[in-house]
Structure 1
Amino acid sequence: MDKYTFTITLLLVITICNSLGENLIPSFLHPCEKQDPNINMCLTYAANNLASHFRKGIPELGITDVEPILLDEINLALGSGPDGYRATFKDIKAYGVSNLTVTGVRSDLDTLQLQLTF
Structure 2
Amino acid sequence: MLLLWRTLGLQNVIVGAILAIATTSAMAEGAIAQSDDGRFGLSYNHSSAETADDVALSGCGADCKIVEHFHAACAAIARNRLGGFGYGVKPYEGQAQHEAYSVCERKHQGCGLYLSGCDKGGD
Q: TM-score, structure 2 length as denominator?
A: 0.23
Q: Identify which of structures 1 and 2 has the higher relative contact order when contacts are C-alpha pairs closer than 8 Å and 6+ apart.
A: 1
More strand by percentage: 2
Which protein has the larger Cα radius of gyration, Structure 1 or Structure 2?
Answer: 2
